[in-house]
Structure 1
């Protein structure tokens, strides 16, 4: 029975696409959208069952079903389902109401098929369809020039990324003689590539993943995309920008030990620093989330460059779920009726010392588990800082005894959840993904240098807020985080045109109850 799950999944995915086409028919009632949402629950449910019962390593036609591809199918389709359910009321009244659901269904279905593809031609088609669907979704408001401009910028960047990926795949397949990913990634096939050919193909792959991930210096499109409707932003930041880590994981045997790790590490590390800076200086909530995404995707690509592909996949999934939640609750981000909070009192010496000690102990314990792994040292440093920060925020700065006790409970609960999630994902994926090759010493030292310099500059600037350097950096980050002038409009002019039509009634003025 379990061997038929791939066929059942494919049938339900086709039914979902047919349902999205039915929704486009004007004579079909808008209430059909609820039936459509019900249909969308079937493919991720089948994928989840396959994941639970470990239906692994099945090649069915051009598709390859294993724990990684099932997980990606569950993740992408579940995010799409949640967003479309949220959009039932959020987008009601929009003239493109039907088109939004159809394009979202097409985009998420194509995205899930891209990572299920064993045929690289199908992967190219599905990934290109995903990028095209996202661009067209943002472009639906043709009357709004700002959205139109943002979609044009996004389309140009995505087109470049897709053609670069096309060049890498054509080079790879023509040299190895195979279009099947499972055959291309074998040691015998990769042995046909010269060292310089591997390096060139890897550099092409790096460029193709940096662009959709919104990494520096290709972050312009993701900054302009903040004008997209909230549900579209949720899908984009949860399932599209994460694709870089998934793509590099699929090509891991080709990428491991390559000199292309160094430029990837440099660009991703710079993106972490820039994204974090944009997040701190922006006052617009959605742009803060955009800056956070740039930084988080930088960390994910650093994990890939260091061979920690399981960690990158875990990061991609958890970041996608977390970031989509933040976007969907963006409307409740500001509470104007609440008074401003008083600044926190300086922490005591005991509080600071305890936070530092807990961070050091956590880092030592984590690194001691596998000291030979270079990535573990970097993870230990980041984990130690996170533990120290969490201890300070939840316990040291807690309000009263009850607040500190609650903070301690949350601290312990967070540590337990982290351990369970990390262990569960690692157990699920370690046979499919495995452990990547260790990074070279120059790559490791390059990353440590960039992160150390960035941390040192941030610490110095935080203590010298009145300095000239702080002012220059602050204004530079503000300017870097702002959209193009053509992507800014004080008031959407198309709304004025709609209001001047005298409230003409049409089917999009119907409220769905």
Structure 2
């Protein structure tokens, strides 16, 4: 019996080393062959290209990092070995999904990702709330798999091709109505997995998962929709459904940012933040920039993994504080506006986005808002001197924008053999009107105007609540 126990204790360590080894192999191959990664096929079942290797490198890194964190965090946890095995299974399901060419394997791996993630959420089978969260999330994942299956099989039977490459090659022969239904089904599958409104509640309910599982979920799983939409970008263009992605993503980004401000639980705050970031990612897909969406999911993965793994330390150091009203002086407003415009110009120069009258303007506008917000956070700090406030913004933003531009160009190169992943679309009246509403909502949120309307406050608070059976339903019974 002791031998078996030691064996179980050794499993997390072995998986930890295996994941880091996989990451090193993937990273080495990616760097060595970056300029010209050969495309490899296996009997129309599997396909490996630059995009595949990029995602492999990312997913193995995050899994290895979270596994390393779990070695100490989950030490003594009864289900540590089970967690590590599920983490490994989840990692391989993503790796196989992204290299799947045959539709049956692709659909199976999409479902497998959901099954593994639901099991990770409910890894502690004796915790009632976690079991309920696992079952609740699994219903969404199965529903998403159903929609994806319907959409993909519609295209497969119409084109008489049961490979992803075959469907894309013969897409012009598919009737417009079928393409539209298939596009809507694929979008539904994507927004379910990314917890986009109105399918957001599963993610809010999944915070009962151990912190390493939450980190893996937010750094990897929810980002899977960006991969899915990039793989089916041609279908989305053909079905003219990009405007749906743009509107749904924009609404989610604004609403989730509002909801984040109302949360008192740090993991719920992070969950709302993830939903908002996924909204931005979906919005970028709706603009025709699937490569920008992939860059976004990469950066979000690093950012959110760090936040979840450091959440315990953040709680220990935090103190209750009253919300500080936003008050900006005229001089501060000038500095914020100046650096926002400067950042947008630099971004346009480095990436070529926003220089023409098309959807690239929205990307540049988002960069300007981000830089303006970060500039305000610097200039309002009382501990910084005048020259520090003047020097820090350009230094930080120059580094940040240059890094982003390099990543953008690198990802675009790796996705160069994929059709329709960097295709700006012409601006329409709907997009311009929604862009104005998006900006209005952003400033209403930042200025705290929503606090003056109790009905709006309560609506947002109710909208951001987890499923009732995942919150304190079982613990009192065991006392």
How large is the Cα RMSD of the aligned pairs? 2.7
Distance 1:464 1:328 in 2: 29
Q: Does 1:59 align with 2:41?
A: yes
Give the aligned partner of residue 160 of structure 2: 177
Q: Is the CA contact (8 Å cut-off) linking 1:366 and 1:376 kept in structure 2?
A: no
Query: Counterparts in 2 of 1:334-373, with a 5 A limit?
Result: 334-336=315-317, 346-364=327-345, 366-367=347-348, 369-370=352-353, 371-372=355-356
Shift of 1:365: 5.2
SS in structure 2 of the partner of residue 334 of structure 1: helix
**2-structure distance, mates of 1:466, 1:425:** 38
Q: Give the drift of 1:29.
A: 5.3
Task: Please tell me whether Structure 1 or Structure 2 has the larger radius of gyration of its CA atoms.
Answer: 1
Deviation (angstroms), 1:257: 4.7
User: Which position in structure 2 is the counterpart of 1:205?
Assistant: 186
> Cα offset for 1:165?
0.8
Can you give the 5+ residue segments of structure 1 that lack an aligned partner in the other structure? Answer: 1-23, 498-513
**Pairwise mapping of residues 300-319 of structure 1 onto structure 2 (< 5 A)?**
300-319=281-300
1:478 aligns with 2:478: no
Distance of aligned partners of 1:149 and 1:340 in 2 relative to their CA distance in 1, 3 Å threshold: closer
For residue 99 of structure 1, give the secondary structure of its aligned residue in structure 2: helix
* Pairing partner for 1:74 from 57, 80, 85: 57
Contact 1:344 1:397 in 2 (8 A): no
For structure 2, the 5+ residue unaligned runs are none
Report the counterpart of residue 33 of structure 1 in structure 2. Answer: 12
Shift of 1:340: 5.6
Structure 1 residue corresponding to 2:69, chosen from 86, 101, 111: 86
Alpha-carbon distance change, 60 to 398 in structure 1, aligned in 2, over 3 angstroms: farther
Per the TM alignment, residue 474 of structure 1 is displaced from its structure 2 partner at its CA by: 1.5
Structure 2 match to 1:325: 306
Return the match for 1:379 from 357, 363, 385: 363
Cα deviation, residue 386, structure 1: 1.6
What is the TM-score of this pair, normalised by structure 2?
Answer: 0.89
Distance in 2 (alpha carbons) for counterparts of 1:52 and 1:463? 45
Which residue of 1 is the match for residue 175 of structure 2?
194
Q: Which moved more, 1:30-39 or 1:477-486?
A: 30-39
Which deviates the most, 163-172 or 453-462? 453-462
The answer as to 2:430 corresponding to 1:446 is yes
In structure 1, the partner of 2:249 is: 268
The residue aligned with 1:413 is: 399
Whether 1:120 and 2:106 are equivalent positions in the alignment is no
- CA distance 1:397–1:473, change in 2 (3 Å): same
> Which residue in the other structure is 2:127 paired with?
144
State the number of aligned residues.
468
Structure 1: how far apart are the matches of 2:417 and 2:398?
Answer: 30
Q: Which residue of 2 aligns with 1:390?
A: 374
1:45 Cα deviation after fit: 2.3
TM-score (norm 1): 0.84
Kept in 1, the 8 Å contact 2:254–2:441? The answer is no
CA distance in 1, matches of 2:263, 2:241: 33
CA distance in 1 between counterparts of 2:24 and 2:447 reads: 52
1:30/1:237 CA distance change after superposition, 3 Å: same
How far is the alpha carbon of 1:400 from its aligned partner? 3.3
Q: Tell me which moved more, 296-305 or 337-346.
A: 337-346
Give 2:218's aligned residue.
Answer: 237
Find the aligned partners of 2:65 and 2:79 in 1 and give their Cα distance.
19
> What secondary structure is seen at the aligned counterpart in 2 of 1:185?
helix
